[in-house]
Amino acid sequence: MARFVPLSQAVAENLCNGDSVAFEGFTHLIPTAAAHEAIRQGFRDLTLIRMTPDVVYDQMIGMGLARKLVFSYAGNPGVGLLRRLRDAVENGFPHKLEIEEHSHAAMANAYEAGAAGLPCAIFRGYRGAELARVNPNIKFIKCPFTGESLAAVPALRPDVVFIHAQKADRKGNVLVEGIVGIQKEAVLAAKRAVVTVEEVVDDFSDLHPNLTILPHWTVTDIAVVPGGAHPSYTHGYYARDNAEYLKWDKIAADRELFRDWMQKNVLDATPEDFAGRVEKLRDAG
């Protein structure tokens, strides 16, 4: 059965320096509170994995947590560049960052292979693409049955995965609604899984049986963090805070402004602050 613990404990007891770690979320349910707690605790030399690294990975990279980034698309959605990521790649600030770029299809298949306990993912992809020239982890193999050339990438098996979800029940089962993305497969592929949730309910007996449920035995720890996905959204709870994404472009463009913002809004903040931000968002709406 998954443990119910404070977020600070969940991060401290599941994440280690040098780990491969995914803070997964696809436009929705991004585990921002968990990532901020990792920043506060000062982890280093992490391999960050995610299909769509956005603002929260920009923050982690800018604060020096990352040694390597394994990713597909990277950007501030609807706005443009990840400026702290670009500074790390082009200028080595705050230190050099190794990158391993894939397509969305490759990342999704790699998580699925990890969840299935397979060593690699095999799929149709990268035909006519140039990415294989700069990523040695993209290989091509011949199908023994058809002779077709297929792409292969290593399975993703993170040391730990963090996701955000709507609800957990008292037994530690987790309900994920809306755009699920690759969260389910990421949890099943990981050695350890931490889930932040909006609330805890008695059970899921009144819900449709085909909803996405992560059973308690797939989850290591659960932390209740209302608003824990802000500024992304949580279906059924609060909307996306588009203004925050627009503001981030200016903040991240300047190293000193970035550091000042991180000190005020992350290093000096707490998980409880997320609930207050979401309440302000609801009041404004």
pLDDT in tens, 161-199: 999 999 999 999 999 999 888 999 999 999 999 999 999
Name the pLDDT band for 94 (thresholds 50, 70, 90). Answer: very high
Averaged pLDDT for residues 64-85: 94
pLDDT on residue 276? 76
Cα angle 92, 93, 96; round to 5: 35
% of residues, the chain, pLDDT over 90: 86
pLDDT on residue 27? 86
Q: Is the pLDDT of residue 284 over 60?
A: no
pLDDT on residue 85? 98
Nearest to 33 by CA among 52, 16, 10: 10
Averaged pLDDT for residues 24-40: 95
Q: Each residue of 256-273: b (16+ CB within 10 Å) or e?
A: eebeebbeeebeebebeb
Q: Is the pLDDT of residue 38 over 80?
A: yes
Separation of alpha carbons 85 and 81, rounded Å:
8
Strands (E), the chain: 3-4, 20-23, 46-50, 66-71, 98-101, 120-123, 139-142, 149-154, 160-169, 174-176, 192-201, 212-214, 221-224
CA dist list (Å): 212 to 163, 167, 174, 180: 14, 11, 8, 8
Name the pLDDT band for 69 (thresholds 50, 70, 90). Answer: very high
Averaged pLDDT for residues 229-233: 95
pLDDT on residue 282? 66
Averaged pLDDT for residues 121-127: 94
Question: pTM to 2 decimals?
Answer: 0.95
pLDDT on residue 207? 83
Q: Is the pLDDT of residue 58 over 60?
A: yes
Separation of alpha carbons 60 and 36, rounded Å:
8
Nearest to 162 by CA among 108, 222, 82: 222
Name the pLDDT band for 274 (thresholds 50, 70, 90). Answer: confident
pLDDT on residue 124? 95
% of residues, the chain, pLDDT over 70: 98
Mean pLDDT of the chain: 94
Q: Is the pLDDT of residue 270 over 90?
A: no
Q: Is the pLDDT of residue 279 over 80?
A: no
